[in-house]
Amino acid sequence: MKTEIERRKTFAIISHPDAGKTTLTEKLLLFGGAIQTAGAVKSNKIKKTATSDFMEIERQRGISVATSVMGFEYNGYKINLLDTPGHKDFAEDTYRTLTAVDSVILVIDAANGVESQTERLMEVCRMRDTPVIVFINKMDREGKDPFDLLDELELKLNIHVRPLSWPINMGERFKGVYNLYEKQLNLFSANKTRISEDIISFSDLSDRQLDEIIGSDAAQLRADVELIEGVYEPFDKESYLRADIAPVFFGSAINNFGVRELLDTFIRIAPQPLGRPSSVRFIQPSEHTFSGFIFKIHANLDPRHRDRIAFLRIVSGIFERNKFYHHVRMQKELRFSNPTSFMAQDKSVIDEAYPGDVIGLYDAGNFKIGDTLTEGESMQYIGIPSFSPELFRELINKDPMKTKQLEKGIEQLTDEGVAQLFYIQPGNRKIIGTVGELQFEVIQYRLEHEYKASCTFMPIAFHKACWITSSIKTKLEEFISRKQTNIGWDKDNNPVFLAPSEWLLNLAKQDYPDIVFHATSEFKQTAQHLS
């Protein structure tokens, strides 16, 4: 088991849309031999032009099951690359996926630098101290000055960086990169199908041969490297693992340039599967009993069968097929006869899986995001929260004959994490909260197609949903009765304050010091366990 854990690396690639995440994913899979042709992953993208094309979303949903986990073998390592949706309206999906990885590779477009989505995603990584490797892409195009890019990364992302490779010019004049760690020159040639790289060792940059190879750029490279070695501390793996420092590589994913050195460094330095905090203690991967958590659910891929796949990240022990496991929230024993592993495009039934692995469990409606499976212990993984939604609408049933279908549909879609559901009284009105506009359209479309129910949405002026608790029961009751019109109840019947504005939220915090306002549902997991 120890060997199996040590040879695993579970990570995600994150980027602002268009920086090159899909292209880099594809090249990594090509190296791993997991796919044979370029273009295989490409289809897993919601095109910018098709943001309101639901058929496209549906098609993507089908594809994204296949690409949710892309496992491949490389140099004796088992690498699990988890896919994250690029579209900003699905950001919450990405945040949850980040709870299931141990490190990330961040792709930056050399011309655009740090973009809005990059900043939001990095905030989540920082919250969790996830180690980050940066890949600055598209060096074959004119981009920003590399030193400026490093400054921008430090400033906007609030991280320390350390270049491990350095570009020699850019755009049409891009000659390649100098690997500062291996002391090697990696020469660039534009070629989308290249596999091998043209590498020359240069332990001493003053070597005249450098001038012969890269001509007038040699002087600039020498000056740049001298500056880097003077300004930046030597790279320290431990600082990277603590998420204090992010190593930076330059390359061109489309030309498969700099990708192998990124991958080779990744397997050398990226963390092996890490443990996770639970409601009772920190669980180490080496613990002998199996445990894991659900971070993603895909439902109703085939409308004729109510099938769902729940994605489980294994944290400790060995998962075995056909063995009974304990579903902690439901206090129920479950057995899985077809647990699935994912190797790039292929799915296969597995007999066992190890910490760091992600497996798909076919499910008839037992799972919600954040659920924990164990060998019997009553503990719950924490840190897989629902985030406070930012957009709210009231759900209106358009067809009273289909009330049951609507109820069931919305129940299942919210279990899947598409949106959050709150009830307000009187009248049991349903408020849907999301992080993006697109989700409302997705809900409407899926209710109609999968549940034959039809709905519309009414605008409602809420700004934020905060779960509320208090150590003094009467204080909570008083708050709830005073704020009646702004109190909602989540699916587990926890009270939620639906604040009309930031200002009124702050006022409520001041006026009611005994009430705790939670921006994520995190508190629930521990509370449920303790209750």
Binding region for ligand G4P (CB under 6 A): 15, 17-23, 86, 137-138, 140-141, 252-255
Amino acid at 87: H
Nearer to ligand G4P, 124 or 424 (CB): 124
Nearer to ligand G4P, 52 or 191 (CB): 191
Q: Taking the complex as a whole, how short is the minimal distance between the CB of residue 65 and ligand G4P, in angstroms?
A: 18
Q: Taking the complex as a whole, how short is the minimal distance between the CB of residue 36 and ligand G4P, in angstroms?
A: 18
Q: Taking the complex as a whole, how short is the minimal distance between the CB of residue 253 and ligand G4P, in angstroms?
A: 4
Distance CA 514, CA 512 (A): 5
Q: Taking the complex as a whole, how short is the minimal distance between the CB of residue 32 and ligand G4P, in angstroms?
A: 17
Nearer to ligand G4P, 252 or 486 (CB): 252
Q: Taking the complex as a whole, how short is the minimal distance between the CB of residue 189 and ligand G4P, in angstroms?
A: 13
Q: First-to-last CA distance in the chain?
A: 35
Nearer to ligand G4P, 140 or 450 (CB): 140
Q: Taking the complex as a whole, how short is the minimal distance between the CB of residue 141 and ligand G4P, in angstroms?
A: 5
HEC string for 470-513: CCCHHHHHHHHHHCHHHEEECCCCCEEEEECCHHHHHHHHHHCC
Nearer to ligand G4P, 86 or 433 (CB): 86
Cis preceding-peptide flag for 426 (omega within 30 of 0): yes
Distance CA 160, CA 489 (A): 42
180 and 168 Cβ atoms separated by less than 8 Å: no
Closest by Cα among 114, 124, 447, 502 to 303: 447
Q: Taking the complex as a whole, how short is the minimal distance between the CB of residue 135 and ligand G4P, in angstroms?
A: 10
Closest by Cα among 79, 75, 101 to 11: 101
- DSSP per residue over 106-127, as a string? EEEETTTBS-HHHHHHHHHHHH
Q: Taking the complex as a whole, how short is the minimal distance between the CB of residue 372 and ligand G4P, in angstroms?
A: 32
How open is the CA angle 466-101-158, to the nearest 5 degrees? Answer: 70
340 and 307 Cβ atoms separated by less than 8 Å: no
Nearer to ligand G4P, 17 or 500 (CB): 17
Amino acid at 355: P
Distance CA 48, CA 36 (A): 27
Q: Give the phi and the psi of residue 345 in degrees, each rounded to 5.
A: -80, -15
- CA torsion 270→94→349→283, rounded to 10°? 60
Closest by Cα among 78, 75, 82 to 102: 82
Q: Taking the complex as a whole, how short is the minimal distance between the CB of residue 13 and ligand G4P, in angstroms?
A: 8
Nearer to ligand G4P, 176 or 370 (CB): 176
Nearer to ligand G4P, 38 or 527 (CB): 38
Nearer to ligand G4P, 121 or 498 (CB): 121
